[in-house]
A and B are shown apart, each in its own frame.
Chain A
Amino acid sequence: SAVISQKPSRDICQRGTSLTIQCQVDSQVTMMFWYRQQPGQSLTLIATANQGSEATYESGFVIDKFPISRPNLTFSTLTVSNMSPEDSSIYLCSVEGVGNYEQYFGPGTRLTVT
């Protein structure tokens, strides 16, 4: 299994500002995923981040709004840019297990935009 940590665990931000969320994994992984979970909703995939290449974004998500970095095999960041109240969500980092295709999830970052 993989142990994933995220920072910050929660934050309250003002509209128009940006927040960078960090995801750290205790082992090297090829793929890292970023999800958003809006209040009372299921998880929605934002993008897939492979080390050494640009992230692949899902429909409805763009790089200018959610820039992602993946500098090495154990770390990634997601930035939520120019935030509005609609960005208030839980943001989750996830990785895929080696060989068994299980997904492991971080504890999430709870973002509130005022």
Chain B
Amino acid sequence: AQKITQTQPGMFVQEKEAVTLDCTYDTSDPSYGLFWYKQPSSGEMIFLIYQGSYDQQNATEGRYSLNFQKARKSANLVISASQLGDSAMYFCAMRINNAGNMLTFGGGTRLMVKP
């Protein structure tokens, strides 16, 4: 069975600084996708970035980049130039491509941006 681990329950970052949120995963399937979602206090899950297991380059989306280290089974999220609006819960998730379409989520990291 697949598993996602986020070891940082909470993180502080100074506004305008960069921050890395850790995510490790466990699967024996070679074909999978990794996702990061942001969940503000309003409750909705907002898609941030996606990395496929066969992608050669790390994914980037604006201020978000995914540091994908396949051999270590890690998919850390890097947020550059943090903004106050980045304060939220962040979830790492995985989808096994040949085993249904559902996402398996980690326990989340609460990011707090200090002014």
Q: Do A and B bind each other?
A: no
